[in-house]
Chains A and B, each alone.
Chain A
């Protein structure tokens, strides 16, 4: 794009003005803008996932994990028995939307 702007500029500053260069610059500029706008349509947007943050309802247990949201999940839902201490119940602490990459990072390093 910049190349065509320079060509146009040279066309303008030439003495006498070089219409060939100006038209070439203009046409090139038009085509490059068109191509750029078409290319922008193919931009991949980040994918989001919904995740449930689960903790143990027992204050003594530090169990903590993230998993993908399942239908029927809601914040402060208690279910099953804690996978770690087996005394407290599993508690959904938060349900949040997250970037897929961020989620993968959390899954690989939960702390």
Chain B
């Protein structure tokens, strides 16, 4: 060892070395929390700029499309703080109905708000603005949550609080980016990854519908849901999807329930939806399974399980097109559009294998219909 030396540089190095050891052993945690706080601060700044940009973009779009009499900025700002209280689940009996009621009230309130903010917007643009508003609210909530933990961590100097938020930052930012992409897509009416379910069933209608096989279309079969009836491979198919090309989701569960009440001899239910992939899985891969393939709050899933499963003992086949959360909210990627073609082939194969000719079947394309016409 070179501790005992006359060399000045060796002595300087030794001193620095010892100093570094002392600083890190006494203030290591403090320094670490400072670094973490700085990275959270950067994220807060980025989220703030994303939120402001999203809000300004939305306001501009409302002005352009809705031609409001007064500046919608104040209304948008106040709506970014909008909240929904979910029903109490201490007594779970009837919680689904209570949740559905709250969601209906919320939806009506949003529609009214959009009508007030953008009175000239047509049905399609109104739906797009409504979804964009929801995305802006989501972004604002993310920003507020991260900012809350940043300030809390700074105030309390608690390494626990700082560490928890810092270690989730990359996932949070990923989610924020996804919501930002969704907002941009809704504003311009671009199809998003989640639109793949309706895209698949529309492809079926387009591929099979012809002069010899006319498509019977019932618009607004239930609110914001269209029903198409046509012959697919000798089967009488009832196809359900949300009304496009505006960003609508509708209540597919309600439509399936209504259809099952009206047509008593349905033999099988097929559902197609986008599903979140695990890291390492291929985007656009199509997988098959059973059960009600539908996301959301669970109200529609419950209705389908209740109506198709419990009451009618109907076999339910599900097809899922795999995608990441950014892909689901962001503009539709080529791999996902290719996945839709694969899903159509698998669906036809499933129909041929698991149903008989002249059977009545339901095919539901679940998802947001933004940018998907018929």
Assess A19 versus B2: contact at CB under 8 Å? Given A71-B189, A95-B190, A95-B191.
yes
A76 B333 Cβ-Cβ under 8 A: no
Per-residue CB contact flags for chain B residues 330-353 toward chain A (1 = under 8 Å, else 0) read 111110110000000000000000
Determine the chain B residues whose CB is within 8 A of the CB of A76 once the complex forms.
202, 206, 372-374
Question: Residue on A with the closest CB to B188?
Answer: A71
User: Which candidate, B11-19, B88-96, B268-276, is the interface stretch facing chain A?
Assistant: B11-19
Q: Interface range on chain A: under 10, 10 to 19, 20 to 34, or 35 or more?
A: 20 to 34
A19 B10 Cβ-Cβ under 8 A: yes
A98 at the interface (CB under 8 A from B): yes
Measured in the bound complex, the distance between the Cα atoms of B17 and A50 in whole Å is 55
Q: Interface range on chain B: under 10, 10 to 19, 20 to 34, or 35 or more?
A: 20 to 34
Which residues of A, 1-56, contact B by the 8 Å Cβ criterion? 16-20, 22-24, 48, 50
Shortest CB-to-CB span from B53 to chain A, Å, is: 18
Assess A19 versus B373: contact at CB under 8 Å? Given A75-B202, A96-B334.
no
B13 A19 Cβ-Cβ under 8 A: yes
B9 A75 Cβ-Cβ under 8 A: no
Question: Residue on A with the closest CB to B327?
Answer: A97
Per-residue CB contact flags for chain B residues 307-346 toward chain A (1 = under 8 Å, else 0) read 0000000000000000000000011111011000000000
A74 B334 Cβ-Cβ under 8 A: no
A23 B334 Cβ-Cβ under 8 A: no
* A to B contact number (C-beta, < 8 Å): 71
B253 at the interface (CB under 8 A from A): no
Residue among B14, B188, B190 having the largest count of chain A Cβ atoms under 10 Å: B190
A75 B373 Cβ-Cβ under 8 A: yes
B197 at the interface (CB under 8 A from A): no
B245 at the interface (CB under 8 A from A): yes
A20 B333 Cβ-Cβ under 8 A: no
B252 at the interface (CB under 8 A from A): no
25 sample A-B contacts, Cβ–Cβ < 8 Å, listed by A number: A17-B2, A19-B10, A19-B13, A20-B2, A20-B13, A22-B17, A23-B16, A23-B17, A24-B13, A48-B331, A50-B331, A69-B188, A71-B189, A72-B189, A74-B189, A74-B244, A74-B245, A94-B337, A95-B371, A96-B331, A96-B336, A97-B330, A97-B331, A97-B332, A97-B333
Question: What is A's interface to B at a CB cutoff of 8 Å?
Answer: 16-20, 22-24, 48, 50, 69, 71-77, 92, 94-98
Question: What is B's interface to A at a CB cutoff of 8 Å?
Answer: 1-3, 9-10, 13-14, 16-17, 188-191, 199, 202, 206, 244-245, 330-334, 336-337, 371-374
